[in-house]
Each structure stands twice: as C-alpha cells, then as structure tokens.
Amino acid sequence: MSLQSRRHKLLLPCNHSPMSQQIGSNEEFLAQRYGKKGSNTWRYIAALLLLTALPWLIWSAWHHSNPQIRVTLISFQNEQDNSIDITYLIQRRDPSLALNCTLIARDFDKNVVGEVEVAIPSSSQGSLKRDDTIPTRLRAVNASVLKCDAIDLKGK
C-alpha cells in the first residue's frame, strides 16, 4: 500500500497542502478562507433613519387625518328647477376662524350649473351645521362643498 493511499485511509494531514499551513488563530483562518466579515455600519444608519422617520410618519399621519377644517355633506334637496338646498357640517379645530366656503351644484352630466361662496363667521362652537341655497341656471341633481378656506382677517 502506498503512502498516499495510507494518508487518505488514516486521514493524516498532508504537509504540502496550503490548508495544512499553520495560521495564528481561527478567525484569521476563516477571514483568509471566506473573506472579511462585513461591518455593521449599515445597521447604525438604518437605526438612525428609523428613529428619524418613524416619529415623522406618526406626526404626518395624525396631521393629515385631522385637518384644521373638515366639511361633511349631510344632505341636499332639489325641489326647484332654479336652486338646490344643501345641508353640511363644518368642524374647526379653532372656532375663532372665519371661513369662506365654495358650494357647487351639478346637473345630470356632472356640469357645474351653480356656484356660490358663503362667508361663515367665527363662533364659539367647533362644529357648525349649515343650511344654504345654491342658485342654478339649470335643474341640479346634486350639490357639494368644493372647499372651505380660512379668511385672513389680519391682512384686511
């Protein structure tokens, strides 16, 4: 039996193999064989981004789901051909804000047939239910509140 076959059968190390060379420590051996371990700087960057983005995300969700002025359409009635009645609820975080609301009426083909701007004075109540009439040029089938903006009284 040759020396080569005895080494394989007895599992004796081969001294002329690069794997049999002595290396200082196991970590050096693994680094040489598999490459260096990556750094953890990406984890620090990800944690920093998370700590910055999460509070902003929470604030942004709260801020946009609770607007300064919220308008809810309650009902509309079109009993006449030249006008339509609309009932809507206005909710303000700051009741001292005076508002300017634009109300529109549409016909069956969704064309705007009436539009009116209503000035809503400031009050002591946060919620205010309003009934208004929109004059129209044709018979309207629906009405809605297009927008409500705060009036800047300081600039006037």
Per residue in 54-80, pLDDT tens? Answer: 999 999 999 999 889 999 999 999 888
Least trusted range by pLDDT, from 7-11, 70-74, 76-80, 112-116? 7-11
CA distance 139 to 108: 9
Query: What pTM does this model have?
Result: 0.63
Amino acid 91: pLDDT:
93
Judge whether residue 155 has pLDDT over 60.
no
For residue 105, the cross-strand partners are 114, 143
Q: Measured on CA atoms in the order 128, 133, 136, 139, is the torsion positive or negative? A: positive
For residue 10, the cross-strand partners are none
Query: Which architecture does CATH list for 69-150?
Result: Sandwich (2.60)
Under a CB-based contact definition with an 8 Å cutoff, are residues 117 and 100 in contact?
A: yes
Domain boundaries, the chain: 1-37, 38-67, 69-150
